[in-house]
Each structure stands twice: as structure tokens, then as C-alpha cells.
């Protein structure tokens, strides 16, 4: 436990020194505030408070930004150490490779949690101040923050896996960009094309919802939508959320970090210092 915490503390000092924590928090605050004010126009027409619309907008933001920030912080965790020549020193410490990964993961998820809590919390407070608030919208905001952290954990683990498999930091960066593009953009485009070709057949009615929720980014979106009627009203994804049982999206999003971390540890075991 002491070794794992020592690695986590060292990683946190690195994040503070290279200003990553400050920049990630600033990005979250600016984007969340921009979407909050840009999306405040339809509140009167929909009959909901400003915070509800803000949460729906920030859900879309988090689908794109949480995986991107997680991959930015994790892609060189192993490949970068190898390029800098510090991997051999790191592996010489009396800590197992699983402990090293766990220490890095703890520090990185704490940094993501801080950035997302401050970013979404600031935007939520502004929306509540100017446009009102309800109990349901407050719960939706808290759920958004927690699930965004969980989504970030998924891509942190996948980023470690790519970092261990890549030959260097440059290759890891390219692989991470490709992973983000596949999970966040191309996956949904492929599903959309399949639905159009199916024309309301068996795939659209029975298979499509499950294939969609198998993607952690879509599982995050469905979880936040299915859990709140007001967010579903403003998001336009009510049908997709209602086609699945309530447990489907949470189970998918909770399993993915475990799968990613197991893959990362297996890949790290094969890395030679």
C-alpha cells in the first residue's frame, strides 16, 4: 500500500509541475460555461430550468472531452517513460507492475475528478444562479460528474494499454487519437449506417440498443439520459434509452475500466525496460 501511494503522490507532483492539472481544469470550466450559456435559449419553450438544459449540453461535451483528456494524460505513461530512459529506474523500485499502474491510475483519476468537478460544478452553479434549479436537475448534475469520472477511468486504462503496446510516445499518441476517433465518432457513424440499411428491421429493434451500449461513450450517454426524464426531454435520445433495461448502461460503464486495466497490466508485463 505504501509503494502504491508513493507512486501516486509522485505522479500528482508531475501533473502539478507540468501544469496539466491547471490546463485540464481551465478547459473544462471554459467549455462547460460556453455550453451553458449557448444552450440556455430553449429553457422557456421546454418548460425546464436552465440547469437541466445545461446538464444535457454538458453530457454531450463530456462524451467528447472526458475520453480525450484521459488519453492525453495516459498515452505516454509507459511509452514516455521508456523514451526518457526512466522506465528501467521505475521498474527497479520494489513495486510490482500492477502497483505501478495502480499508482499512476490513482493520481490520474484524481486529477480528472478534480478538473471535472470544478468545471461542471462551476457551470452548474452559474446555470442555477441565472436560470433556476430543481432537485432533479441537481441530481442529474451530480450523476453527470460521477459518470464523467467513470468514463475518464475507462480511457485512462485503455490509454495505459496502448502506451505499453506502442514502441514510443509518438506512436502511442497516434494510437490514442485513433482510439478516440473510433469510440467517440466512427462507432456511432457505423451504427447509424447500419440502422439506415436495416430500415427498421430486426437489427434496429433488437440488436442496435445492445451494440450501442457496448461502447462506453454511448453507455455514458444512455445512463445519464435514462436516469432523468428532464434530461431525456432535452437530449432527443429517449427512444434509445427506453429500449434498454436500466442496468445495461451502468454495467457496461462499470465493466470497461476493469477490462481496460486488465489489458493494460497484461501489456505492461510484456514491456522490457
**CA-based diameter of the chain, in Å?**
62
How far apart are alpha carbons 164 and 168 in whole angstroms? 9
At residue 255, the pLDDT reads 96
Q: Where are the alpha helices (DSSP H) in 181-215?
A: 187-198, 202, 208-213
**Mean pLDDT confidence for 9-30:** 90
Domain count, the chain: 1
pLDDT digits (tens, 9 = 90+) for 55-102: 888 888 899 999 999 999 999 899 988 888 888 888 888 878 889 999
Domain that holds residue 144: 3-269
In sequence order, the 6+-apart residues with CB closer than 8 A to the CB of 46 are 53, 233, 234
| Cell (9 digits) for 30 | 471554459
Report whether pLDDT(174) > 90.
yes
**C-alpha triplet 92, 168, 90: angle, nearest 5°:** 15
Rg (the chain; Cα; Å): 20
**Mean pLDDT confidence for 199-209:** 81
Amino acid at each position: 500500500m505504501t509503494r502504491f501511494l508513493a507512486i501516486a503522490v509522485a505522479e500528482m507532483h508531475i501533473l502539478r509541475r507540468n501544469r496539466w492539472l491547471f490546463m485540464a481544469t481551465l478547459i473544462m470550466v471554459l467549455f462547460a460555461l460556453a455550453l451553458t450559456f449557448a444552450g440556455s435559449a430553449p429553457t422557456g419553450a421546454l418548460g425546464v430550468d436552465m440547469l437541466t438544459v445545461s446538464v444535457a449540453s454538458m453530457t454531450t461535451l463530456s462524451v467528447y472531452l472526458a475520453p480525450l483528456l484521459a488519453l492525453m494524460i495516459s498515452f505516454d505513461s509507459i511509452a514516455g517513460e521508456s523514451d526518457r530512459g526512466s522506465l528501467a529506474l521505475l521498474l527497479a523500485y520494489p513495486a510490482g507492475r500492477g502497483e505501478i499502474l495502480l499508482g499512476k491510475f490513482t493520481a490520474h483519476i484524481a486529477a480528472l475528478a478534480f478538473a471535472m468537478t470544478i468545471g461542471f460544478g462551476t457551470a452548474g452553479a452559474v446555470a442555477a444562479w441565472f436560470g433556476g434549479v430543481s432537485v432533479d436537475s441537481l441530481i442529474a448534475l451530480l450523476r453527470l460528474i460521477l459518470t464523467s469520472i467513470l468514463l475518464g477511468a475507462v480511457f485512462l486504462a485503455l490509454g495505459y494499454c496502448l502506451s505499453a503496446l506502442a514502441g514510443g510516445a509518438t506512436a502511442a499518441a497516434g494510437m490514442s487519437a485513433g482510439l478516440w476517433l473510433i469510440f467517440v465518432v466512427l462507432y456511432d457513424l457505423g451504427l447509424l449506417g447500419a440502422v439506415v440499411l436495416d430500415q427498421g428491421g430486426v437489427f434496429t429493434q433488437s440488436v442496435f440498443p445492445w451494440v450501442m451500449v457496448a461502447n462506453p461513450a454511448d453507455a455514458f450517454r444512455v445512463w445519464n439520459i435514462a436516469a432523468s426524464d428532464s434530461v431525456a426531454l432535452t437530449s432527443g435520445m429517449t427512444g434509445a434509452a427506453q429500449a434498454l433495461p436500466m442496468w445495461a448502461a451502468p454495467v457496461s460503464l462499470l465493466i470497461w475500466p476493469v477490462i481496460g486495466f486488465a489489458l493494460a497490466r497484461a501489456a505492461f508485463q510484456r514491456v522490457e525496460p
